[in-house]
Amino acid sequence: MDSARDNSIRNVQGSLIAEKQITVDGHLGREIEARARDDRFLDMRLILAKDRLYVLEVMSTNERNRDSKNIQKFFGSFKLNGT
């Protein structure tokens, strides 16, 4: 998960703001906030389920347009079926 986090942040020329450990349906995960180039924001959820790593990302054009309620709604809509 460290590599996925680091590569995603590097791809947007960003820097880490916050990271927290989570579980999704019993699987380890992380939620990550990062500041990207041009004052954009990257919100990311990583989920490690068996031999798969799921990466969900939301890019906001600026802090004012960053809608944490809708971001969490999007993250919550992802379901792990049969894992």
In whole angstroms, give the CA distance from residue 34 to residue 19. 9
9-63 per-position pLDDT tens digit = 999 999 999 999 999 989 999 999 999 999 899 999 999 998 999 999 999 988 8
Residue 81 backbone phi and psi in degrees, to 5: -95, 125
Q: What is the mean pLDDT of residues 60-68?
A: 87
Whether the per-residue pLDDT at 69 is higher than 80: the answer is yes
Tokens of 76: 């919550």
Instruction: Record the pTM.
Output: 0.87
Bridge partners for 15 per DSSP: 35
